[in-house]
A and B are shown apart, each in its own frame.
Chain A
Amino acid sequence: MTKFVIRRILQAIPTLFGISILVYAIMLATPGGPVAALTFSPTVTPQERAALAAQLGVNDPFHIQYLRWLLGDDWMRFDSDGDGVADTAYLIPLDADGDGEPEPSGTRRGILRGDFGSSFFHGKRHVVDVIFERLAATFELGAASLVVGLTIGIPVGVLAAVNRGGYFDNFTRIMAVVFNALPSFWLGLLLLLVFGGTGLGLLPMGNRCGIVLVGGCPPFYERLEYLFLPTFVIAVGGVAAYSRFMRASLLDVSGQDYIRTARAKGLSGRMVWFRHGLRNALIPIATLLGPTITGVLSGAAITEQVFAWPGVGRLVVSSITQKDYPTVMAVVMFAAIATILGYLLSDILYALIDPRIRLR
């Protein structure tokens, strides 16, 4: 098991490199850039635009920008004699904006040295700080949706399998299609109008908690009403997916020899389905867990938008729109790591649950 985990982690390194190069290349290939978004104003001169582009380094060739992101730029342009003015440069010009003065020394250390860089927006703060302050909200909503999806979806799937071909089975099949087909922006708005202040007035219309002047939001169990609608919107898709997955898995198991044996022994239907069938049918669900956890952390941009939920999804969308390369890259790398770890967790869980599986 240990060897397996170490091997998978080592295999992840080239995967992460590949992802980073691919995403960086795609990102730079998209038209537009942050300078246009930052300087689209009639008061900004072409010279100021050029100076900002030089400062951000966004006009450098792809390999320079990637190297800067990977290894930093404190070795690309620096002050060798300690007089406070950069005097040595590798790969990039000393005077990038052509104004006759050297640009300041590089300060970035690159992600290999733990520096994911600073956002072009967000007050030039470190992107890791910007991302991490959104993670709690994303995790809260994602976990709630996952719990609701599993606790409703799995029992519904089991009951549908037990009543295969019956009214309940057909009803859940139709509902699964409906739940999967509902666009989250539509469902979110509809629920908000029905249950919010301009409708029944039963639930708040957004945000993570009420107005708090200082001290932050109270613990989540004191503000469940704020979680209710966005959780429901995200969970309906999960309910549909898990119920169908569970139904299919249980029906698959029901044709196995050991189920036939259990019936032949004269066990009650309940014992056969729930004691023998369900436990084995749950094993494939474990394979879903890894990618599901990744989904929990990646946020749900549209739902977050409608319910003003302060999660990572909204940050990603706005960063992509603004061409905030450092933020986009940091989110992508965190998501890639989470995905790799999620699948690794799935494999490990699978081996732990099913004694027939051996990790090598």
Chain B
Amino acid sequence: MKTALRVTLVLFILCLSSLSAMAQEGGIVVRGNAGADPTAFDPLLTNETVTADIQALIFPDLLSVDPATASIVNGPGPNALATGWELSDDGLTYTFSLRDDLYWTDGEQIDADDVMFVWDFIQSGAVPTHLSFVADEIANVEKIDNFTIAVSFDEVDCDAILSIGALEPYPSHIAPEDLTTMPDQEFNQNLYVSSGPYTFGEVRPAESISLLANPDYADAELGYVNNDAFVLLNVPDLTVMVERFLAGELSIISGPQEARRAEIYAAEDEGRVQIYTYPGNSWDYLAFNLADPANPQNAVDEDGNPIDQGMHPVFGSTEVGRDVRRALNMALDVDDIIERATFGEGTRMASHLVPASWAFDPTIEPVPSDPAAAAQMLTDAGWVNSDPDDPTSVRVCQGCATAEDGTEMRFVLNTNEENARRTAIITIAQESWDKIGVKADIQTLEWGSYLEKLFTQTLDAYVIGWRNGYPDRPDATQLFTPASDVVGGCSNCMSYNNPEFTAINEQARILPGCSIDERKALYAEAQRIIQADTPYIFMFVRNGFYAAGSEVSGFDPFPSQLLWNVDTWSITQ
């Protein structure tokens, strides 16, 4: 009897201890936000970086993403509505099976109607939305039953699944009849219905946004959300942000200024912080205008016929002047630029694909730095020093292919004035080119003015950047094909147009069967072509940088995925 009592007592204690082990460890995760001051959150109306971060924490996704591989998974995943898809034989229709065990926090089941509503909203055009691109890419979305939807396309698109991912479930049962009133609905400021690891707490405009642990979160890794709350605290000044992080006022920060990272590394050495860095998805480049900036023209007319865009007097056109552009590339020491402009917090690029992309080919080497060879290449191309005894004297055209004899090798190099990193890049480029007789007049412009000049295609050369999406989409149709070479609203603002590149890029996008290996080979070929053409000097991706205080448990990021497991985090005091 005594033994039985002892065993019972031990089991009871074990039960208690296991119960206490299951208890939430708690704490509030405080993240610094130097971005916009969001006051509106409806996922159909706004997707600024900050609001997108909030939405990701309180809404389910349609598709599951593997954070380790940064790829969409054809299967179930945490906080994802679809359990997988089947692709029709013609490759045009994806049929998704949806979970039947996900609920909004007000008890309504999440089902196909919540996806269909998003599609209907986009098509309605009732309110301008960042999702309008979905209507251009997807032909139709159809509800088969409450837990099955079919998404169809007009043509095979190997990246179609990325477009479908934008159809994230929306609580359709709270939407107003009149869609034009959605911006004025309470839901736009208070996401009172959600379904992720957190529920909406409150927004203090331009100051903080609090999210509360969702006790009913169905897919919690531990069975419960391990912290009490997540707070996004606005700290608009980046210098102050680092100070406040080091002072312990913030649990985590991301992307601090490169100039301040050394202090954070020092704190890591002291055991006060944890750091994760990776080659990011934001990249800077120096672009050459490959058309006549004095007479900007679209690449094609309304019927799709090519329009003569002329050529730039220094940089030529896509076909003409490759050697000159390559020489200008070789005259720069990009590694030195990375060191001086980003304090070493950048990773070299060889082409238009970021190292984190699945299609990136690491065997393609960046263009090497060799100023002497660059000078010789310019001379060979008909650009000779005006004073043969002075290698820094301005070069003039003597038999060059792009300008009349006697034309000096001078051009304007622009960037946006608010960006110290890019200002450093153009300054270093100017110094480097000056040594071989290439004279760049550097000018910085206010962002709005800069974009206007960029869109009107009147710039000579410019430094700017792109930020790729997540997961990465290697398709370069908008960046490097005539489709987006439109004066007044371009992404291919430098008028690059190589039919071979365009064809290979398109082939990779619509490849029957969408074999990853075959597509990768095609994208590798595209990378080689574009590096040889040198419409850009591909510089670097800015290294992503996440830091958390040592009090944060569970900090285990992947590239571009800081918060993938935030439901397991706790804050120990």
Q: Mark B196-208, 1 if CB is under 8 A from A, else 0.
A: 0000011011111
Known contacts A51-B132, A122-B39, A123-B183: A46-B484 contact under CB 8 Å: yes
Residues of chain A within 8 A of B201, CB atoms compared:
213-214
Pick the residue among A32, A44, A125, A311 that contacts B40 (CB under 8 A). A125
Residue of A33, A35, A44 with highest tally of chain B CB at under 10 A: A44
| B37 lies within 8 A of A318 (CB) | yes
| A198 lies within 8 A of B188 (CB) | no
| A124 lies within 8 A of B183 (CB) | yes
| B205 lies within 8 A of A207 (CB) | no
Chain B CB within 8 A of A110 CB? no
| A32 lies within 8 A of B210 (CB) | no
| B188 lies within 8 A of A123 (CB) | yes
Complex Cα–Cα for A53 and B46 (A)? 17
- Which segment of A15-23, A188-196, A328-336 sits at the interface? A188-196
Residues of chain A within 8 A of B202, CB atoms compared:
212-216
| A123 lies within 8 A of B486 (CB) | no
| B183 lies within 8 A of A125 (CB) | yes
Residues of chain A within 8 A of B248, CB atoms compared:
197
On chain A, which size bracket covers the interface?
35 or more
Known contacts A43-B478, A206-B244, A306-B240: A48-B132 contact under CB 8 Å: yes
User: Which chain B residues (523-565) contact chain A, with CB distance < 8 Å?
Assistant: none
Residues of chain B within 8 A of A206, CB atoms compared:
235, 240, 244
Residues of chain B within 8 A of A42, CB atoms compared:
466, 468, 478-479, 491
Residues of chain B within 8 A of A37, CB atoms compared:
447-448, 451
| B451 lies within 8 A of A123 (CB) | no
| A192 lies within 8 A of B243 (CB) | yes
The smallest C-beta distance from A185 to any residue of chain B, in angstroms, reads 9
| A52 lies within 8 A of B184 (CB) | no
Residues of chain A within 8 A of B126, CB atoms compared:
104
Complex Cα–Cα for A216 and B201 (A)? 10
| A43 lies within 8 A of B452 (CB) | no
Chain A CB within 8 A of B453 CB? yes
Q: How many residues does chain B have at the interface if contact means C-beta atoms less than 8 Å apart?
A: 73
Chain B CB within 8 A of A314 CB? yes
Q: Which residue of A lies closest to B451 (CB)?
A: A36
Chain B CB within 8 A of A323 CB? yes
Residues of chain B within 8 A of A123, CB atoms compared:
38-42, 45-46, 51, 183, 188-189
Chain A CB within 8 A of B249 CB? yes
Q: Mark B175-191, 1 if CB is under 8 A from A, else 0.
A: 00000100110001100
Chain B CB within 8 A of A205 CB? yes
| B246 lies within 8 A of A189 (CB) | no
User: Which chain B residues (437-495) contact chain A, with CB distance < 8 Å?
Assistant: 446-453, 455, 466, 468-469, 473, 478-479, 483-484, 486, 488-491
Residues of chain A within 8 A of B39, CB atoms compared:
122-123, 125, 130, 133
| B233 lies within 8 A of A207 (CB) | yes
The smallest C-beta distance from A84 to any residue of chain B, in angstroms, reads 11
Residues of chain A within 8 A of B205, CB atoms compared:
130, 133-134, 310
Interface residues of B (CB under 8 A from A): 28, 30, 36-42, 45-46, 48, 51, 125-128, 130, 132-133, 136, 180, 183-184, 188-189, 201-202, 204-208, 210, 212, 228-229, 231, 233-237, 239-240, 243-244, 246-249, 446-453, 455, 466, 468-469, 473, 478-479, 483-484, 486, 488-491
The 7 closest A-B pairs by CB, nearest first: A123-B40, A32-B448, A197-B247, A310-B206, A31-B449, A49-B489, A46-B486
Q: List 9 A-B contacts (CB under 8 A).
A: A42-B468, A42-B479, A48-B136, A122-B40, A125-B189, A134-B206, A213-B202, A308-B233, A310-B207
Interface residues of A (CB under 8 A from B): 30-33, 35-53, 55-56, 104, 107, 118, 121-126, 130, 133-134, 137, 189, 192-193, 196-198, 201, 204-208, 211-217, 305-308, 310-311, 314-315, 318, 321, 323
